[in-house]
Amino acid sequence: MEAIKQAPLKIIFILSLSMALALNACGQSKNDNQMALNMETVSKPKNPYYSHTDTTKLHLTDAEWKKILPEDLYEVSRHAATERPFTGKYWNADIKGTYYCAACGNELFRSEAKFASTCGWPSFFEQENKNSTVFRQDSSLGMIRTEVLCARCGGHLGHIFDDGPPPTGKRYCMNSIAMDFVPDTP
């Protein structure tokens, strides 16, 4: 009888323990991710056009981009591929720093404009300056959306929607693969 009475308690205890372990695992991986981002550096030995200061517009052919970009970045930047949600490096990152175009180095967003979105992609409510991104209508996949492109290299970054937070109400929904992050120096 005692054993029967205790059974639900045991189940609750095991469930609580499992939840605590799961939450701890999530926290752990987020912390590990943040630590990795804090130490992130950018190195593009194959890409002579990459610069955080040169704002000259780039007009490369598809073949030239293919030669200098890693395959995953080439597919997103030049062929508008989309990374799977909740898989990118930056969707849940919240440390201070600057996001740049991974294809050309153009400054795109500051971390202060990033917000916690539930969509699984890094989301921002405003671009860093008027030279950061440009927009284009995208009617692929049977939807009318507004595509966000890098203003320097014309590379695909993601899409923009009108369901973002104040003050702009915009949500720049970006691919982590299309961006580099440089943490602020303390």
Positions in the binding site for Fe ion (CB under 5 A) = 101, 103-104, 106, 150, 152-153, 155
Minimum CB separation of residue 108 from Fe ion in Å reads: 8
Beta strands in 16-102 (DSSP E): 97-101
**Closer of 152 and 170 to Fe ion (Cβ):** 152
Residue 104 annotated to the active site: no
How far is 118 from 144, CA to CA, in rounded Å? 22
From the candidates 101, 150, 153, 173, give the one annotated as an active-site residue: 173
Give the chain's length. 186
Minimum CB separation of residue 97 from Fe ion in Å reads: 18
**Closer of 106 and 123 to Fe ion (Cβ):** 106
Using left for φ > 0, alpha for ψ between -120 and 50, and beta otherwise, residue 97 falls in: left
Tally Cβ neighbours within 10 Å of residue 9.
9
Minimum CB separation of residue 45 from Fe ion in Å reads: 18
Minimum CB separation of residue 55 from Fe ion in Å reads: 11
**Closer of 113 and 148 to Fe ion (Cβ):** 148
At residue 67, the 3 state secondary structure works out as: helix
Q: Which helix (H) or strand (E) holds 74?
A: helix 71-79
**Closer of 28 and 129 to Fe ion (Cβ):** 129
Which among 92, 105, 87 has a CA at the least distance from the CA of 155? 105
Minimum CB separation of residue 102 from Fe ion in Å reads: 8
**Closer of 33 and 40 to Fe ion (Cβ):** 40
Torsion angles phi and psi, residue 4, rounded to 5: -65, -40
Instruction: Output the CA–CA distances (angstroms, integers) from residue 58 to 42, 65, 100, in the order listed.
Output: 20, 11, 15
Torsion angles phi and psi, residue 133, rounded to 5: -135, 160
What are the catalytic residues?
173
